[in-house]
Amino acid sequence: MEQTWRWFGPPDRVTLRDAREAGATGIVSALHELPAGGVWPVESIRARQAEIRSARMEWSVVESLEVTERIKMQTPGWRADVENFAQSIRNLAACGIRTIAYNWMPLFSWMRTHLREPAPKGGYTTRFDVLAFAAFDLYLLQRRDAEADWGEDLSRAAHDYLADLSSEEKELLQQTILQGLPGGHRSLTLQKTNDLLQEYSGLSSEDLRASLREFLMLVCPVAEECGVKLCIHPDDPPRPLLGLPRIVSTADDLQWLLQQYPHAANSLTFCTGALGVRADNDLLAMVRSFTPRIGFLHLRSTQRETVYPKGIETFFEAAHLEGDADLIGIIIELVKEKRRREFAGDHFHLPFRADHGQELLNDRERNAAPGYPAIGRLRGLAELRGALTMAERLIVDLE
């Protein structure tokens, strides 16, 4: 298993040197400066690759090669965007990069309502508060049909929550949701968000599945030909938001997805934090079931706090070996799979990263991207490295 580190390019306040000193050998990155929907030129890929190699690491995984909203909605221009996506796959493969992570979350990527909340044992963490998000949806965005989605009791509780906020806290909540998170969507306004929601109006889960199926049929043959794994990231949080369906949230969703194109070109970014938010997702069972089709791993843990009606959870980003996800058990399952493949003569290469991290010690002084501090992720990667080493030793001894 390859230990990797997410780096957002030259503007990132956590440097390549930091990543290497943390023990990473591979870098997870993207050409964030290029607009969504365009082709990633070979010369741009090679320039970024050379920069990473100068720090004595390799660009192992692309995250994220963005799927445009036009593709998800199949609005005019979507086929050109798919062709550009396919050409970017070819260009990345020509440079030796063969693991590409993407997501299918409509409009918004990963979502939090608070970026620097005090963590239980010190430091700061990110948090998704249901009442805060409902207050934004109902009373700041004022989305049509929002009250019907949230229900009377939650709507009333969200109103009371918002009433207790100062004007500065309301503005911060709005900015946190609209301005985007690292590697996620672009910055939006209230008006632009409502306009885009109107474009998505009437889109059902079945419609979103149909567009995903067609996308896979178009790009997976290209990926297969190039020896590339396209690894879809699950929804975060794994619930519908703003009336929009989310279709990569459960074991059934993942099973359906993998059946659409039954080849390693169609693989998973298995994120234990995103999937672990739902209590009905059995992560150990999912790992056992899907390991042959997991191409990339995000190892992190979230802690559920309050579960509201309709099963909507407030949660925060826990320390990597705490929270609701049994990362020790998951690592043991992965090492077992590695040993099975070794005995079968099959090479097992699986990049993983210590996803997200709490801000610890002087992380706040550096002001890194929310969720991506230096020390918090260093601690997470070190803990996971120790767990991985112990699991490998234990399983060899048992044999």
Q: Using one digit for the tens of pLDDT, what is the confidence trace for 72-124?
A: 999 999 999 999 999 999 999 999 999 999 999 999 889 999 999 999 999 99
Q: Please name the residue that has the structure tokens 């970026």.
A: 115
Tell me the average pLDDT across 173-187: 82
Distance CA 37, CA 231 (A): 18
The pLDDT confidence band at residue 184, using thresholds 50, 70 and 90, is low
Over range 122-151, report the average pLDDT: 96
The share of the chain scoring above pLDDT 70, in percent, equals 98
Taking residues 35-59, report their average pLDDT: 97
Average pLDDT, the chain: 94
Q: Is the peptide bond prior to 301 cis by the omega test (within 30 degrees of 0)?
A: no
337 confidence band (pLDDT: 50, 70, 90)? confident
Cα separation of the two ends of the chain: 20
The answer to whether 72 and 36 have CB atoms below 8 angstroms apart is no
Instruction: Say yes or no to pLDDT of 356 above 70.
Output: yes
> What confidence score (pLDDT) does residue 159 get?
97
- Give the bridge partners for 359, in sequence order: 124
Mean pLDDT of 311-322: 93
| Cβ neighbours of 35 (radius 10 Å) | 9
Element (H, E) at 60: strand 58-63
What are the catalytic residues? 233, 271, 298, 355-356, 372
Q: What is the pLDDT of residue 93?
A: 98
What is the pairing mode between strands 312-318 and 301-308? antiparallel
Nearest-angstrom CA–CA distance, 383 and 373? 16
In the predicted model, is pLDDT for residue 185 greater than 80? no
Q: How far is CA 366 from the centre of its chain?
A: 23
What is the C-alpha separation between 317 and 112, in angstroms, rounded? 10
187: confidence class by pLDDT, cuts 50, 70, 90: confident
**By the 8 A CB rule, do 395 and 29 touch?**
no
Structure confidence at residue 343 (pLDDT): 82
Cross-strand bridge partners of residue 58? 26
- Backbone φ and ψ for 296, nearest 5 degrees, come out as -160, 145
Tell me the C-alpha distance between 340 and 237, whole Å: 33
Residue with tokens 């229900």: 151
365-383 pLDDT, tens digit each:
998 999 999 999 999 999 9
Neighbours of 306 (CB within 10 A): 11
Residues 249/238, Cβ–Cβ less than 8 Å: yes
Cα 134 from Cα 147, distance rounded (Å): 9
Domain ranges, ordered by start, for the chain: 2-113+203-309+317-398
Helix orientation angle between 205-226 and 251-260, rounded to the nearest 10 degrees: 50
- Contacts for 120 with CB less than 8 Å, ≥ 6 apart: none
The CB-side HSE value for 31 (13 A sphere, CA atoms) comes to 20
pLDDT (tens digit per residue) in 243-275 = 999 999 999 999 999 999 999 999 999 999 999
Reference 339, options 296, 267, 397, 293; nearest CA is: 397
Amino acid at 132: A
What H or E segment, with its residue span, contains residue 225?
helix 205-226
Question: Which overall architecture, per CATH, does domain 2-113+203-309+317-398 show?
Answer: Alpha-Beta Barrel (3.20)
Confidence of residue 399 (pLDDT cuts 50, 70, 90): low
Give the confidence band of 340 by pLDDT, cuts at 50, 70, 90.
confident
Closest listed residue to residue 220, CA positions, set 96, 40, 100: 100
Residue listed under structure tokens 């826990």:
318
Q: Whose CA is closest to 72, among 161, 185, 174?
A: 185
- The CA-based angle 382-388-390, given to 5 degrees, is 105
pLDDT at residue 171 is higher than 70 = yes
The amino acid at 319: A
CB-based contacts of 43, cutoff 8 Å, min separation 6: none
User: pTM of the entire structure?
Assistant: 0.96
